[in-house]
A and B are shown apart, each in its own frame.
Chain A
Amino acid sequence: MILSDREIKLALRRDFLRITPPPSDGAISSTSVDLTLHEQISVWLPHPQEMVAPVVVHPARPTFDEVPLLREHGATLLLPAAGFILKPGALVLGWTEERIRLPHTSRLAARVEGRSSLARLGVGVHVTAPTIHAGFGSLDDPQHVGTRIRLEIWNCGPLHVCLEKGMKICQLILEEVHGTPEKGYEGTFATQAPEGVPPAPPTSASKPRKRRR
């Protein structure tokens, strides 16, 4: 069930959802909250010898580490006042200005989605990974404000699009979580188990619990 603006405001007031800095009334539409672009972005740089020796990465290997790769083949910068031009075909990594906290006890999850105004220009904000799981950015520390959402911003349109600090870049859609997922407990993780450790059976945690709201 997607939360309406009224339910979103209620969740914010009850601290079931924390957004820092808090959204203005104008940022909350009927079923979503607009989030804005933080000033830090990372860009992948073309390899100077791409034609001779293409860079091959192995993301499926456990030792894959994105940060050194970004250091070697990318650049991280702060958005200039005049903005950053996202060229056709380009991909940059960004962050939301807002930090999000979804305590797992609130039984809320969310999806980060693009904005239609940007979509019509060919600009997307994630690459098929929109889910913000229940518990996102959550610590028991009541002062913890949550964490920023990473964005993969790409331009598949023909125009040069200017990205500016603080622009509305995406929207957060809040959803109620019913029960605890159990799918995948048996098969998917069996191969990851250390030798001698059986696949995790469904536990009592998989039983639907009484809703708190």
Chain B
Amino acid sequence: MMMLVVCEVRPGVGKVDVSVVVRDTNNVPTFLHLDRNYVAHRHGKTYLPIGTVYRDKEKGVALIEFPEEADSGAHRIWVPLASLLEPNGDFA
């Protein structure tokens, strides 16, 4: 299921791209070098569309899947459930 995960957006190396940072449950950053058009804006924050593989509401975590492989090679990471947003802007 597609959702949005909160992310930091940093300048890329040209006019096409940006560097996107998504933080996992341990606050470890994962970097993705992406087309800037991937980034969505909701509630004054920046979000990256991702797939959700598994959600654990009791523990407040979710396993998400990136649209492209991260720079580190990671494809899926655990993030706080609170960092997710429904595509329509509702909180998860």
Interface of A is mostly: loop
- Neighbouring A residues of B45 by C-beta, 8 Å: none
Tell me the count of chain A residues lying within 8 A, CB to CB, of chain B: 46
From B19, B28, B37, B71, A145 is in contact (CB under 8 Å) with: B37
- Neighbouring B residues of A99 by C-beta, 8 Å: 35, 37
Interface residues of A (CB under 8 A from B): 38, 40, 42, 59-67, 70-71, 74, 76, 78, 95, 99, 104, 129, 133, 135-141, 144-148, 150, 185, 189, 192-194, 196-197, 200-201, 203, 205
- Nearest A-chain residue to B59, judged by Cβ: A197
- What is the CA–CA distance of A64 and B31 in the complex, to the nearest angstrom? 7
Name B47-74 residues within 8 Å CB distance of A.
49, 51, 53-54, 56, 59, 61, 63, 67-69, 71-74
- Neighbouring A residues of B24 by C-beta, 8 Å: 194
Cβ contact within 8 Å between B37 and A146: yes
Q: Which of A74, A78, A189, A205 has the most CB of B within 10 A?
A: A189
Cβ contact within 8 Å between B63 and A189: yes
